[in-house]
Amino acid sequence: MGRLSGKTAIITGAATGIGQATARVFADEGARVICGDINESELNETVRAITKNGGEAEAFHLDVSDEENVKSFADGIQQKYGTIDILFNNAGVDQEGGKVHEYPVELFDRIIAVDLRGTFLCSKYLIPLMLEKGGSIINTSSMSGRAADLDRSGYNAAKGGITNLTKAMAIDYARSGIRVNSLSPGTIETPLIDKLAGTKEDEMGEAFREANKWITPLGRLGKPEEMAAVALFLASDDSSYVTGEDITADGGIMAYTWPGKMLIDKKWKEETE
């Protein structure tokens, strides 16, 4: 406990899922947590839960794809706090769109705007608040930024861009004492997964989880709290010599080249039940 005592952390996409779990963990570790999201009702609930538990948190409406909104947000934080220590660029969206020749331009633009451009905008306007004393930036990428998915080229492009943007930022700001790393989750049990694949109670959602359960070497989906633990490592001094890295937390999916024997090996499948 107390690994982030006295530090100010900004988390985007903090209303649900990984962002929410990380906000709670950061607050438990002593950070003042500034939570941003477009989903104000659930964001306010996140902040209420943190403060009820004795932590310090504030909620701000934040559309990371809107430059003026991001700039105004950054100006307000600078006026109130002067500097920040941690920036977790976590906000993101995802949706299937079909093959590239079928893919709606509007959907591609939306995913790029929130996931990639949003990471850029928040970094651009909030890094000046870190230049005085350094800090840590964590960008949420994805295992889908390292390999491709069927019918999700917009998401693959956005997350691949985040992974390499992270490396560029790490080089740009290393001599300023700012470390920059990305966190690449696998399939995590979040409201986004419920929206994309169905809930645990839905037939489609149940089938999706069963498929992921046996094709993931650890035999299950990840938990938001497990991603929060990785984010805490990257935010704290425990990772003081780590920058420019992409930390993949996917239950082992990226460890193999193709599912091969797993598709026909009954013993492999039965061990996850």
User: Which residues are tagged catalytic?
Assistant: 155
- Two structure tokens written together for 164: 């390499």
Per-position DSSP letters for 202-218, written without gaps between them: SHHHHHHHHHHHHHSTT
> What is the C-alpha separation between 136 and 238, in angstroms, rounded?
11
Closest CA to 212 of 189, 236, 239: 189
Burial of 13-22, coded b for 16+ CB within 10 Å and e otherwise, reads: bbbbbbbbbb
SS3 135: strand
Q: Which pair of tokens denotes residue 115? A: 């996931």
Answer yes or no: are the C-beta atoms of 84 and 9 closer than 8 Å: yes
C-beta of residue 56 within 8 angstroms of C-beta of residue 8: no
- Asked if residues 158 and 111 have their Cβ atoms less than 8 Å apart, the reply is yes
**Tokens describing residue 62:** 């934040």
Token digits of residue 10:
């900004």
